Structure 1
Amino acid sequence: MTCPKLDRSNIVAFIAGIFERRGAGAYLGEAVRVRIWDDQCKQPGMKTPAFRYATPLLGRVVARQAS
């Protein structure tokens, strides 16, 4: 699948299509809100922690979902 050029005008429809194809429509609203929030928070040049900073939290989330 080729990824279309995404911008503010079509990102919601693109994400909705992914969720619909995967049968995860119940989470669509939350995913779109997170995506918009993430987009609004971008600051070019801002220093961020390394990925390993978030791995403990991600591990807890995955463990909770598996149980």
Structure 2
Amino acid sequence: MRDLPINVDADAVIAIGNYLDDHSKATAVSVSGAIFAIRKKAMTTLSDNELEELIVESAAARHLAVLLDTRDN
């Protein structure tokens, strides 16, 4: 995993880690579901795209499958 930029919200990174640690390895991680859950757990100013990037990178580091189900409105 790459080094995080200095402006990344630590609470969001911790929430993503906790979310992925609790996720089953038998099912893919829904990116839109993860973003929704992270927004409920951590008050962050990160955009959905920034959260998506962190979720995908963190899931890859844990060898979890990812369901890319986000869409632009």
Q: TM-score, normalised by structure 1?
A: 0.32
Greater relative contact order, per chain length (Cα 8 Å cut-off, separation 6+) = 2
Structure showing greater radius of gyration is 1
- Using structure 2 for the length normalisation, give the TM-score: 0.30
Richer in helix (by share): 1
Task: Determine which structure has the larger strand proportion and give its number.
Answer: 2
